[in-house]
Structure 1
Amino acid sequence: MVSHNTPDDGAVDGGEGDATGADGADESDPASTRRGLLRAAAGATVAGAAGTAGCLGVTTPADTAAQYELTGNVDHFVGPRWLADNREDVVVLDARDSENFRKERIYGARRVPFDAITSRASTDAGLVPDVAAIATAFGEVGVSPDDDVLVYGASVGSRVTRTAFALAALGHAGSVRVLNGGISGWNGRLGTGSRDRIEPTEYDPDPAESAWVTREWLADRVGTFNGDGPGLVDVRVPEAYLGAPAADALDPDNDRHGHLPGAIGVHWVGNVSGRRMTDPGRLVQLYEGEAELDRAGTVVVYGDDNVDPTSTWLTLRAIGFEDVRVYDGGFGEWANVEGDRGRYPVETATSVVIETEGSVGGGDGGGDFSCTG
């Protein structure tokens, strides 16, 4: 088994300490996008900080929660009001690290070790989600295949979406939703500390192999991406996508740099505005209008690892794309493949990049945000 390395202690926590009141929140400016050909020399990464709207003046817990409500036809993402109305009917999962989980969490929430749900297994076709390890991790915190689940974090960053993807990879029969705004938007009961352990259950997975693709699946379709074949989106920063020489964004562990031939570059942070989902209308414009992805066709997303692409995976599903898949092996596997690399080509020429402006608040990946700087 090959595991994605994350700074996480793997502890399983349950039980509650004292209940407390809700905290404040932030609201960043909405993301903006435009299509263009990005020159390698441009070298601009997505800003890691958001505006500070909502940090000045006085707001009530109800005001805070209202900031994160959703309107329109959006799947999978829900606001705090939905959780308040359905709290007794869903299993709540916390995607943050153990320290933040113990400090303050939604009352009754459970935490799944992040290293377990990013585990990968090696097959002849390449790396795939390790469904056995993932199922065990969810079972240890009492999640059953039929449970309706809500996942939250500090924001709607990639730790949250990876947790949602891990459930989808298991073929989870219950619904899976993500809390827009994360814990900052919750104005209900909170818990602290660690007291009791959750009663474990045996999670019997029904792997949904249509949720991911393998290295060999991609190799068979090289030359067709974003043409006659499936859509392919590289979610990394533009410098990594272009293999810009000496760029800090390049992974030093990769033998080759660039992107899969035909892939479109759309940095995943454009999906997130502070702690919330970017305006859905803007996301439709970004992915369907500007990137020209077919919502009725297959779309594959990949990054350096198997965490960040899940943000784009869930975002596309939320705005109505029907068949979205994750390349779980990631560019790291593709770039470092052994043997005949002619079957796994890497492109470095400037290609179509959709420029994005976004930020992730709260430490869920992509940068932190605080009202005090």
Structure 2
Amino acid sequence: MRGGDRNSTDAGDEAALTRRSLLAAAAGAGVASTAGCSGVRTPADVAEAASIGGNVAYFRGPDQVRPDSEVFLDARRREQFRTEHVYGARHVPVDDLTARTETDAGLVPDADALADRLGALGLTRDTDVVVYGSSVGSRVSRVVFVLEYLGHEGDVSVLNGGYEAWNGRVGVGSRSPRGATYEASPQEEFVVTRDWIAERVGSFNADGPGLVDVRPPEAYLGARKSPELVASNDRHGHIPGAIDVHWTGNVDGRMLAEPGTLAGLYFNNAGLSQSGRTVVYGQGNVNPTHTWLVLRALGAEDVCLYDGGFAEWANVPEDRRGRYPVETKTTTVVETSGSVGGGGGGGFSCTG
């Protein structure tokens, strides 16, 4: 067992509870039992429904992970983690994994800062990891992106269905894990810069790379007075040549949308190539990692992230805007039908 893998609980016996045992205890105590009722789904049913079949990378259901040999990273808010989490999980504050550094070509991930955060979680490059959130939203995908960008060598998986699909052991409370040294080996091919994009304006989604804007269509179109417009942006619209595929179309409730449907969305409707380079960007550097992850999971061979995002592109000094243009008229919006969430309480975040 890796150092720090067992986490402290407020009551030791609570850590060994499972969702199945909680359900049984409730029935035994006289709470209205659902056994045999038509249409009722048990925790085992939910876990089974989250299983992923076929040739899809990263995403796995609760019955497809190895809780005794993999480290679970909880990307939810800290109060959710403290209330209850996968037994032995370590809390990873996603805001700690967005650090960037300025270069002459534009913003790029701060590899040293990111490696320090992973080391503080007790991770090394060979640790097998399962990341989960309230759903399979972008809080989760940002963690996966950082691991892959830093050259992680262990297995990296996402718990399909999020914590609500988990039916194994749970724990409560929190304790800081024993720290480790994370030796980063940044994979520079996973990111592009503002200047890299500027040099290719006019070629995207034609003879050059694919460029996908993951923001809501209203932001992509620069729709006047839309609540989707970010007030801190000096300009509104999108990078010339980009197509819009709102990232929430990747998710159906708390689970990954049907993989065949996603493949049709990106490789047919959006016209992206599985073998050619595709760049994804959003307002910042969290949401676009979800499309980055989904494209890789579907077998796309060369997907990278513009980590500076539209916030960097839209807010260059006025005298440099000719090199970094924004457009609203040439538009391609690919309709999506997914939604992030699952109903109910629990403080669910739109990013999962």
Give me the TM-score of the superposition, normalised by structure 2: 0.88
Query: For residues 119 and 184 of structure 1, what CA distance do their matches in structure 2 show?
Result: 29
Whole-angstrom distance in 1 between the partners of 2:233 and 2:132: 32
Other-structure match for 1:293:
272
Q: 1:341 aligns with which of 321, 340, 347?
A: 321
Tell me the amino acid that sits aligned with residue 223 of structure 2. Answer: A
Report the Cα distance in structure 2 between the residues aligned to 1:322 and 1:349, rounded to whole angstroms. 31
Cα drift, residue 360 of structure 1: 1.0
Q: 1:185 to 1:168 in 2, by over 3 A?
A: same
Counterpart of 2:333 in 1: which secondary structure? strand
Report the equivalent of 1:366: 350
| Counterpart secondary structure, 1:353 | coil
Shift of 1:21: 2.8
1:58 to 33, 40, 44: 40
Q: Which residue of 2 aligns with 1:309?
A: 288
* Displacement of 1:367: 7.1
Structure 2 Cα separation of the partners of residues 357 and 248 of structure 1: 20
Matched, 1:208 2:198: no
Contact residue 287 and residue 351 of structure 2 kept, 8 A: no
2:349 and 2:274 map into 1 onto residues whose CA distance is 27
What residue is the counterpart of 1:73 in the other structure? 55
Distance in 2 between the 1:364 and 1:357 partners? 20
For each residue in 1:119-163, what CA deviation from the matched residue of structure 2 results, as whole angstroms up to 9, or x when unmatched?
Answer: 111111111111111111110110001111110111000000000
In structure 1, what is the Cα distance between the partners aligned to 2:351 and 2:207? 37
- Please, which of 7, 30, 33 is the counterpart of residue 15 of structure 1? 7
Among 242, 246, 258, the residue aligned to 2:225: 246
Aligned AA (1:21): T
Structure 2's unaligned 5+ residue stretches are 21-37
Kept in 2: contact 1:22–1:184 (CA 8 A): no
CA distance in 2, matches of 1:365, 1:349: 33
- What residue identity is the alignment partner of 2:117? A
Three-state SS of the structure 2 residue aligned to 1:281 is: helix
Q: How many angstroms does 1:90 deviate by?
A: 1.3
Aligned to 1:231: 210
> How many correspondences in the alignment?
324
SS at match of 2:196: helix
The 5-angstrom pairing of residues 1-373 of structure 1 reads: 15-17=7-9, 18-19=14-15, 20-22=17-19, 57-83=39-65, 86-194=66-174, 196-338=175-317, 339-361=319-341, 365-366=349-350
Measure, in 2, the Cα distance between the counterparts of 1:316 and 1:353: 18
5+ residue gaps, structure 1, are: 1-11, 24-55, 369-373
Moved more, 109-118 or 245-254: 109-118
Instruction: Give the secondary-structure state (helix, strand or coil) at the position aligned to 2:335.
Output: strand
1:106-131 CA distance string (max 9 Å, x none): 00001122221111111111111111
Instruction: Supply the distance in 2 between the matched residues of 1:237 and 1:182 (Cα, whole angstroms).
Output: 23
Q: Distance in 2 between matches of 1:324 and 1:226?
A: 14
Counterpart-to-counterpart distance in 2, 1:89 and 1:342: 53
Displacement of 1:22: 2.2
Distance across 2 between alignment mates of 1:249 and 1:323: 30
| Same amino acid, percent of matched pairs | 56
Alpha-carbon distance, 1:89 to partner: 1.9
Q: For 1:147 and 1:315, how far apart are their aligned partners in 2?
A: 22
Measure, in 2, the Cα distance between the counterparts of 1:82 and 1:157: 19
Structure-1-length-normalised TM-score: 0.83
Structure number with greater CO (CA < 8 Å, separation at least 6) is 1
1:228 CA drift (Å): 1.2
Q: Whose radius of gyration is greater, 1 or 2?
A: 2
